[in-house]
Amino acid sequence: MSLVTEIDNFAATTNHPTPSSEIRFDWTRSEILELLDQSFSDLLFQAQSIHRKYFDPNKVQVSQLMSIKTGGCAEDCKYCPQSSHYSTGIDAEKLVATDAILGEATAARDGGASRFCMGAAWRDLKDRDMEAMVEIISGVKSLGMETCMTLGMLSDSQANTLAEAGLDYYNHNIDTSPEFYGNVITTRTFQERLDTLERVRDAGMKTCTGGIVGMGESRSDRAGMIEALATMPKHPESVPINLLIRIEGTPFEQNEDFDILEFVRTVAVTRITMPKSWVRLSAGRDSMSDEAQALCFLAGANSMFKGDKLLTANNVAEDKDKALLKRLGMEFS
């Protein structure tokens, strides 16, 4: 008898609900709120049951993130230290040389990362930078790594060129619910984000898109963010769930601490509604206790960033990650 069968039998004899194994694209806000409103133990039971149907629960996919063009972004995202609208001590820099990027990618690969993610602080990708992007993608792919980029909004032709160059994933977060979005960003619309993701899918690349919690949104907004992701024509292959980092100089600097158990609930419902997606613990992980991270893994998170830095924010030291996973009987995949 398999472990999944044992779990299902246990649920049947103890009146615990178990989720359907059906992959759905018609989730409603009310259904997602019902999941979020469950008792914590029932919710985690469902999430872990679903997780085990599609993934090895003791494996964590590892990516490494590099800022290849830092600062000076024209967007006014209220959480972002790279926005030119705020004084955060981060200056605008030029695009990093290709050789330097490939050196970082090589070190990431040798350190156990299977995917190299590259972020540029642009509102949108300019055609003049496309040749450099193609060269970078080709170089990282030659190292035997998956590639991911976040470069802002894309046109149809740009998406197709990136796909032809071999880009595996394109990151373009929706950040929050459609209703709360205007409280976070005013320089581009929620629909513009969806349009870029559609271009990425149409070009044949995988989407990496998620959001941020702790920006002052309601639980209904968190449900709305998940609804927007889980009702896409194809579920995002990678869903990063970020905890707001309150950066000095940004409008969200004084936001209140976010309830970590609510963060775990968000991870769990993400897993239930998008069973085959990689659910990544992203920004804010360095502020979480080992116990909080362990709960996130129990809730179905199975991806993380390694390395001491994300784009500009601190990340958990790699030796701490390895020590925690060893204590949990888990390992990098």
Residue 322 banded pLDDT, cuts 50, 70, 90:
confident
Burial class (CB in 10 A: 0-12, 13-18, 19+), 263: buried
**CA dihedral in degrees (136, 142, 145, 148; nearest 10)?**
20
> Tens digits of per-residue pLDDT, 43-88?
999 999 999 999 999 999 988 889 999 999 999 999 999 999 999 8
Contacts within 8 Å (CB) and 24+ apart, 265-268: 265/36, 265/40, 265/43, 265/299, 266/36, 266/213, 266/222, 266/226, 266/241, 267/47, 267/241, 267/296, 267/299, 267/300, 267/301, 268/35, 268/43, 268/44, 268/46, 268/47, 268/299, 268/300
User: The domain containing residue 109 runs over which residues?
Assistant: 3-332
For residue 73, which amino acid is it?
Answer: C
Report the mean per-residue pLDDT for the chain: 91
Helix (H) or strand (E) holding 207: strand 206-208
By percentage, how much of the chain surpasses pLDDT 70?
Answer: 91
Residue 270 banded pLDDT, cuts 50, 70, 90:
very high
- pLDDT computed for residue 4 by the predictor: 45
- pLDDT computed for residue 311 by the predictor: 63
- pLDDT computed for residue 9 by the predictor: 52
pLDDT of 8 higher than 80: no
Spatial distance between the Cα atoms of 269 and 266, rounded to a whole number of angstroms: 5
Structurally, the chain folds into a number of domains equal to: 1
> pLDDT higher for 14 or 101?
101
CATH number of the structural domain spanning residue 290: 3.20.20.70
Q: How far is CA 158 from the centre of its chain?
A: 22
Which residues are catalytic, by number? 73, 77, 80, 117, 148, 208, 280
For residue 135, which amino acid is it?
Answer: E
> pLDDT higher for 114 or 294?
294
Residue 22 banded pLDDT, cuts 50, 70, 90:
confident
pTM over 0.85: yes
Alpha helix ranges (H) inside 238-305: 260-273, 290-298
Section 260-269 average pLDDT:
98
pLDDT of 93 higher than 80: yes
Q: Please choose, from the candidates 58, 114, 62, the residue with its C-alpha nearest in 3D space to the C-alpha of residue 294.
A: 58
